[in-house]
């Protein structure tokens, strides 16, 4: 094959597989759009908040090792001091919750990550309910810093390192966080269908990101 014929065939193949450029037409339709998956960022203060939980203006504060601690938009949902003075376990359960509503584009397994701030070991948990499913306790031992919690899958009596999936149908769903202890704070909730997609720092909704 002559060199000129080879260059001509390669050029034709490249043009057929490439999307149309500025003002171009036709060939871009040959490539399907990439599936970016679901990436949903929920702001806690935009949910339906019931006392004793409340929307709080979180004052930035500096952690000696983790640096400046800030809430997304300067606001979060919190359980104030003394909110559970009258609580007594199941007889008198703590009052207060925040309900967040979101929609997923297709049926599948989804992963839910809450961004939390705990005062100490007596104020480091929420009870989380997805739709009408059994509650899941959200807690860990990281204090006085904003951080994302990974809910782990359980295998027998031990927890897997893999994030826990929540099977969801296409359409609207709710995730509810119930008051469990004073001083607990919730800033954002991240929902994704990618088990390897882990949130970091303050997350920005994909549709609000700059191009």
* Cα distance between residue 37 and residue 51, in whole Å: 35
On whether the CB atoms of residues 42 and 186 are closer than 8 A, the answer is: no
Nearest partner of 136 among 156, 165, 109, 107, judged by Cα = 165
In this prediction, residue 121 carries a pLDDT of 93
**E strands, the chain, where?**
39-43, 48-50, 54-57, 61-63, 67-69, 75-78, 97-104, 108-117, 125-130, 136-139, 147-148, 152-155, 158-163, 166-168, 171-178, 185-192
CATH architecture of 39-208: Sandwich (2.60)
Domain ranges of the chain: 1-33, 39-208
In whole angstroms, give the CA distance from residue 205 to residue 202: 10
Q: Answer whether 139's CB lies under 8 Å from 116's CB.
A: no
pLDDT at 93: 84
Name the 3-class secondary structure at 205: coil
Count of C-beta atoms within a 10 Å radius of residue 146: 22
- Please tell me the predicted confidence (pLDDT) of residue 160: 67
Q: Which residues of the chain have pLDDT under 70?
A: 1-36, 89-90, 155-160, 207-211
pLDDT tens across 31-65, in order?
433 446 799 999 999 999 999 999 999 999 999 98
* pTM score: 0.79
Q: Express as a percent the part of the chain with pLDDT over 90.
A: 68
Hey, what are 72's tokens? 């997304």
> pLDDT value at position 187?
98
pLDDT digits (tens, 9 = 90+) for 63-93: 998 999 999 999 999 999 999 988 776 678 8
* pLDDT attached to residue 211: 46
> Contact 111/144 with Cβ under 8 angstroms?
no
Cα 83 to Cα 95: distance, rounded to the nearest angstrom: 8
């Amino acid at each position: 094959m002559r060199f000129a014929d080879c260059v001509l065939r390669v050029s034709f193949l490249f043009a057929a597989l490439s999307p149309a450029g500025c003002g171009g037409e036709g060939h871009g339709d040959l490539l399907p759009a990439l599936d970016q998956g679901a990436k949903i960022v929920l702001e806690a203060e935009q949910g339906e908040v019931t006392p004793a939980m409340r929307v709080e203006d979180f004052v930035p504060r500096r952690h000696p090792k983790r640096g400046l601690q800030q809430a997304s938009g300067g606001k979060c949902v919190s359980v104030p001091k003394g909110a559970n003075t009258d609580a007594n376990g199941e007889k008198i359960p703590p009052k207060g919750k925040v309900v967040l509503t979101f929609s997923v584009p297709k049926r599948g397994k989804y992963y839910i990550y809450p961004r939390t701030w705990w005062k100490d070991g007596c104020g480091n948990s929420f009870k989380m309910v997805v739709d009408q499913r059994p509650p899941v306790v959200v807690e860990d031992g990281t204090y006085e810093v904003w951080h994302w919690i990974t809910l782990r899958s359980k295998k027998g009596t031990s927890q897997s390192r893999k994030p826990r999936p929540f099977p969801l149908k296409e359409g609207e769903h709710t995730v509810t966080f119930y008051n469990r202890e004073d001083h607990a704070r919730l800033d954002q909730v991240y929902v994704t269908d990618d088990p390897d997609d882990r949130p970091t720092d303050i997350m920005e909704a994909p549709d609000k990101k700059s191009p």
